[in-house]
Structure 1
Amino acid sequence: MAALRPPALRHLLSHQTRVLRTTAWHQQRRWAQVHDVRFLATTQQPRHILEKYRQKLDEKARAEGHADIDSLKAAYSDKIKALRKETDAVTAPLDRARAGGPLTPPPSPGSEGHQPQPQQPQQPQHQATTTTTTTTTPPPQPPTPPKSPSSPSSSATGIKPLSAILNLPKVLPLPNTTLTNLWRQHHSTHPRSLCAVIPATTYQTMDTLARQHPHFVLPVPHPQQGAEIHFCQWTWDVETRSATVLFTQLAEYKVRGEFAVPHTTVTHYLDLVGGRRVVKHIGEGVEGKEGEQGQVQEEVEEEGVVLMQGMVVEDRGVKVEDAQWLVMCLQRFYGGWDGLGGQGGLERAEERRRLLEWFGKGDERFSVEKLLEQAERMG
């Protein structure tokens, strides 16, 4: 019996060890939790991001004339709100997924009332030497309704073409003098409208410089409160064959940037730039080709012109006279009417062109004092 005790004791000890291990395994608890990494990443405080880019934000604020980062945030508050709205729209499907809702997008307006067709059961394929491939064609999209020809069309920028303002087939044969009177009479009914008829050669010089330097500043002198600086910007619309200039107070443009609202908009129409054949009356009481007494008409080649029209927005702090001065300065600084004034006029035109180039290149030689000096010479 003594010889059997050690194995029995070893068996008993090993059995108790297995029991203890099994009991400990059943009593073990796990406290680990699963978190959404995206949620943790987006709920962290962005202080480290602000500290990382603080120097760049300070430089941008000083470059745009702001005192600190808070004023820069206030200037871009509208843009920040718009971006937040877009972000909320993008994260809406994720919110629906967390709530257990469907992820299907809302139906488009053109697909209202369209019920999805049930999927046809697939026919069993038999073993054969040849195989056929079937393709499922999507349902046809509803056709886009055509534009009504009677309604005045406009481009994506909202600019009306010249054909929506004048009857071009009737205007093309008119001489420039008659066309000028007609254009001015068309805009005489609105007290805040602007209009002009510019020779094509004069406008071509302006357009060449404008494409090189589409931004500039122009002063409006006020006898009692000094001069007010305005920011002008050129834009082109190929669809309507037009070039538009937007005038905005420089103070507002510094605060709102591209969201600044212009107080004056001027559009140049290039439909009549090319030369055209017009009919002119060259005499009266002269015997014509058929031997009758009366007016004699002759077709002559007429120089091309550019029709300009503009509008001054009410309650924007700018008078119509100020807008007319800005348009005149725009033409002179962009090379229009350079030949006026003889040799002295050519020298002053060259000085104005240098100011335009210096401003466009950010040259330190440009100054507001030189700009005001040239404006006083024009006045």
Structure 2
Amino acid sequence: MQGVRSRPSPEVRRQGEEGSFSPNRKGVSLEKLKEEAKKKLDEENAALREALRRQRETEQAQALKEEAKSSSAPRTPPPAASARTDSSPVKPLASILALEKILDPPHTAEQIAQIWTAYHDLQSGGTGRGFVSASIPQATYEKMLAIARRYPTFIIPLPRLVEQEVTEETPEGASTGVKKETAYEFFLLQWDLHDAPPAPTTTTDIFARPQASPSPNPPTATVIFTPLQEYKLRQQFATPYLVLTQYTDLASSHGTVLLRGEITPSTAESGKFMLSQEDARSLTMAIQKFYLWDQGKKENLLQVFHERPQDFKWEELLRQVKVVA
């Protein structure tokens, strides 16, 4: 019918008035909407970049663990690489790490240190318990070795917090309480030197001739820590609580020495050890503290301990331990 137009319903008119059918919200300009959209897009891109970064870090960490696992898998090393003609009691490094994989493709000293750390993390289920590991520059190792040849033993104190019952007189009478004091447990440090290991090689030829002597590497060394009281009672039969082995197989090729510390498991309780991780690290650091002579008076303590034992003062040792702690 002409002249008659349909009228929108009240609901439609209300929506039109409120701008529901307009491309812009009421009171918001097009430029403002563009800014908000750009801001939201930037936030989404930033979140995406962060997710990708975390994914890359996870993949790199997993790759490092896989490489350490592959390098430390039970294996029989190539005869030419693991042949030892000496009577060293040290477990060969080639039985721990696949040295041919370290050499081919070539790894840097930093990469080897990362693999060494990751390997011991895997051995301890990611807890680090029972082991201490580190990499030492060859120059530092040889400096300590020169001093160890002259002074192969020393005494290292470890602080122990003990509770002591004390009685005090008060106007009301005697009062008994518990007071915490710091005592020290002393450990005997002993260096042992072993023949230098041959430089590793990638050859698998079982007929390959052994490398010419002498080895280009410095001697391998072990350092054992035994409670002084137990050593006094049992002498050579005393049980060491911590054994450090310093592997020099890669010294000449990579300028690094790999340190591996093994804490003796407890015989009284399964899953426990004779030393805590903190104590094991403190004893390990004692090598650097007392066998690098550019650190104060520790040189004098070693000299006095060996050359003038009658003048050695325990109080001075404790004071020096507190200074370097």
Q: TM-score, normalised on structure 2?
A: 0.55
- Does structure 1 residue 312 correspond to structure 2 residue 250? no
Deviation at 1:156, TM superposition (A): 3.7
Q: How far off is 1:157 after superposition?
A: 4.5
- Taking the aligned partners of 2:98 and 2:265, their CA distance within structure 1 comes to 29
Q: 2:39 maps to which residue? A: none
**What SS is found at the alignment partner of 1:223?**
strand
Gaps of 5+ in 1: 1-147, 277-303, 339-345
Which one of 242, 247, 263 corresponds to residue 220 of structure 2?
242
Pair 1:220 & 2:166 matched: no
Measure, in 2, the Cα distance between the counterparts of 1:350 and 1:259.
Answer: 35
4+ residue runs of structure 1 moved beyond 6 angstroms? Answer: 148-155
2:208 counterpart of 1:262:
no
Matched, 1:202 2:140: yes
Q: CA separation in 2, counterparts of 1:219 and 1:306?
A: 26
**For 1:220 and 1:208, how far apart are their aligned partners in 2?**
25
Name the aligned partner's letter for residue 232 of structure 1: L
- Look up the match of 2:288: 331
Q: Which residue of 2 aligns with 1:32?
A: none
Report how far residue 275 of structure 1 moved: 4.7
Give 1:150 deviation, angstroms. Answer: 7.5
Pick the aligned partner of 2:119 from 186, 189, 210: 186
Verify: 1:231 aligned to 2:231, yes or no.
no
Q: Which amino acid aligns with 2:262?
A: M
- 2: CA distance between counterparts of 1:252 and 1:202? 31
Kindly, what percent of the aligned residue pairs are identical?
Answer: 33
Whether the aligned pair in 1 keeps the contact of 2:220 and 2:247 (CA below 8 Å) is: yes
> What is the CA distance between 1:239 and its match in structure 2?
5.9
Deviation at 1:170, TM superposition (A): 2.5
Contact 2:77–2:98 (8 Å) recurs in 1: no
Q: For 1:91-240, what aligned pairs fall within 5 Å after superposition? A: 156-172=87-103, 173-189=106-122, 190=124, 191-224=129-162, 225-238=182-195, 240=197
| Residue 364 (structure 1) shift | 2.5
Q: Which amino acid aligns with 1:223?
A: L
Q: Give the deviation of 1:149 after TM superposition.
A: 6.9
Size of the aligned set, in residue pairs, is: 194
Q: Residue 153 of structure 1 contacts residue 164 of structure 1 at CA under 8 Å; is this kept in 2?
A: no
Measure the CA separation in 1 of the matches of 2:143 and 2:117.
24
The residue matched to 1:197 in structure 2 has which SS?
A: strand
Counterpart for residue 352 of structure 1 = 298
CA distance in 2, matches of 1:350, 1:356: 12
Partners of 1:195 and 1:330 lie apart in 2 by 14
Structure 2: 5+ residue runs without aligned partners?
1-75, 163-181, 198-218, 267-272
Partner of 1:370: 316
Which structure is larger by alpha-carbon Rg, 1 or 2? 1
* Matches of 2:196 and 2:113, distance apart in 1: 24
Quick one: which amino acid aligns to residue 305 of structure 2? F
**Aligned residues of 1:214 and 1:233 also touching (Cα < 8 A):** yes
| TM-score w.r.t. length of structure 1 | 0.48
Q: Distance in 2 between matches of 1:162 and 1:350?
A: 35
**1:72-87 matched pairs, under 5 angstroms:** none
Output the CA distance in 2 between the equivalents of 1:266 and 1:326. Answer: 10
Q: Matches of 1:317 and 1:182 in 2, distance apart? A: 27
How far residue 318 of structure 1 moved from its aligned partner, in angstroms, is 2.0
Give the deviation of 1:153 after TM superposition.
7.4
Distance 1:250 1:237, change over 3 A: same
Aligned with 2:257: secondary structure? strand
Higher relative contact order (CA 8 A, sep 6+): 2
CA contact (8 A) 1:153 1:160 kept: no
